[in-house]
């Protein structure tokens, strides 16, 4: 059996190769936002954010957390952090203040990217509860008593204050000449991602995953469901979970398939609409999501004929209409 082509690569390098192979193909689509990026465009944006992270002083092996609902910036962060040899820490957006503090402490997070408010969760306010020093900071040289390793807070929405860094500022960064060298230093066997367990039987524990681990997982899932660059995968599951960021975005990066994200969190109608509008060939979800979509009163209005595969944890099955 031949070795999968991703076996000795890093997440950042896999994206670069896919962007070279399928530059004009859709990579990331957020229908509700009117956003459509090709693999070439995604790769360009990842380079810009990776360069900005280097300019902020983020070193190899540093832990960069992201606490957000599903958003385009989540995808960019996922690849940019890997490209500079840092470690991505997935923070569950359902966490309350005490859970956030515990996760940041346990994972030694030095930089936290904070999402826009969503429904009853104001992520910025909760961060400022854990780190009250940021509310009175006059510049970015603050320190947090409860989280002494935390150095930087990046807001995806409007900049909350002088101690914060705005994502829009990162997007304007010039391409760093140091990026090529930093990218070349990253190896497949290095830790790339920390994902937390659910904590059902105790406190959540951070599982350390290497580039090789997540990419081989992505490769074999794609083999199982026979993905190609022609596939369009609807991903209404959360990015913080491996279902969204490994079986979702990374699988598509390995095979050149398009990632279609209907909404910041699961919405049955938005999912049905995305499958129809984007002619999705595959749909992800857990059983309760599929039940909600099947039971939706408007389901009959949507043409779902392009979707031939439905996937959920523990089973990957070809749908039969």
In tens, the pLDDT along 265-304 reads 999 999 999 999 999 999 999 999 999 999 999 999 999 9
Q: Delimit the CATH 3.40.50.980 region(s) of the chain.
A: 212-318
Distance, in Å, from the CA atom of 311 to the CA atom of 282, rounded to the nearest integer, reads 8
Check: CB of residue 44 under 8 Å from CB of residue 213: no
Per residue in 92-115, pLDDT (tens digit) is 999 999 999 999 999 999 999 999
pLDDT of 307? 87
* Radius of gyration, CA atoms only, the chain: 19
Nearest 10 degrees: CA dihedral of 294, 315, 274, 238?
110
The three-state secondary structure class of 96 is coil
pLDDT of 311? 60
The total of other beta-carbon atoms located within 10 Å of residue 292's CB is 18
Question: In the chain, which residue ranges form alpha helices assigned H by DSSP?
Answer: 11-21, 39-55, 72-83, 97-106, 123-130, 133-136, 167-171, 179-185, 211-224, 242-245, 249-255, 268-277, 287-295
Backbone angles phi, psi at 231, to 5 degrees: -75, 150
pLDDT of 33? 97
The three-state secondary structure class of 167 is helix
pLDDT of 313? 54
User: What number does CATH give the domain 212-318?
Assistant: 3.40.50.980
CATH of 41-211, one of 3.40.50.12780, 3.40.50.2300, 3.40.640.10, 3.40.50.970: 3.40.50.12780
Q: Delimit the CATH 3.40.50.12780 region(s) of the chain.
A: 41-211
- Which residues in the chain land under pLDDT 70? 1, 309-321
């Amino acid at each position: 059996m031949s070795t999968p082509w991703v076996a000795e690569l890093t997440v950042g390098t896999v994206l670069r190769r896919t962007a070279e192979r399928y530059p004009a193909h859709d990579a990331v689509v957020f229908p509700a936002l009117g956003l459509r990026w090709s693999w070439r465009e995604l790769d360009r944006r990842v380079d810009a954010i990776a360069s900005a992270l280097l300019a902020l002083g983020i070193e190899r092996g540093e832990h960069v957390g992201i606490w957000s609902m599903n958003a385009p910036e989540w995808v960019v962060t996922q690849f940019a952090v890997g490209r500079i040899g840092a470690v991505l820490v997935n923070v569950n957006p359902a966490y309350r203040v005490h859970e956030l503090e515990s996760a940041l402490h346990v994972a030694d997070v030095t930089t936290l990217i904070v999402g826009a408010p969503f429904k009853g969760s104001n992520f910025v306010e909760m961060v400022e509860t854990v780190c009250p020093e940021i509310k009175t900071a006059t510049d970015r040289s603050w320190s947090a008593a409860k989280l002494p390793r935390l150095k930087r807070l990046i807001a995806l929405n409007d900049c909350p204050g002088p101690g914060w860094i705005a994502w829009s500022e990162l997007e304007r960064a010039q391409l760093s000449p140091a990026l090529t060298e930093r990218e070349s230093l990253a190896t497949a066997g290095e830790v790339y991602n920390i994902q937390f367990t659910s904590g059902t039987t105790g406190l959540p524990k951070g599982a350390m995953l290497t580039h090789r681990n997540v990419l081989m997982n992505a490769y074999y899932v794609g083999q199982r469901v026979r993905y190609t660059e022609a596939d369009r995968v609807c991903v209404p599951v959360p990015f913080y979970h491996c279902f969204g960021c490994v079986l979702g975005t990374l699988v598509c990066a390995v095979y050149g398939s398009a990632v279609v994200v209907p909404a910041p969190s699961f919405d049955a109608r938005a999912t049905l609409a995305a499958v129809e509008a984007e002619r999705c060939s595959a749909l992800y979800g857990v059983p309760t999501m599929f039940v909600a979509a099947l039971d939706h009163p408007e389901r009959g209005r949507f043409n779902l004929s392009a979707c031939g595969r439905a996937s959920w944890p523990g089973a990957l099955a070809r749908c039969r209409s």
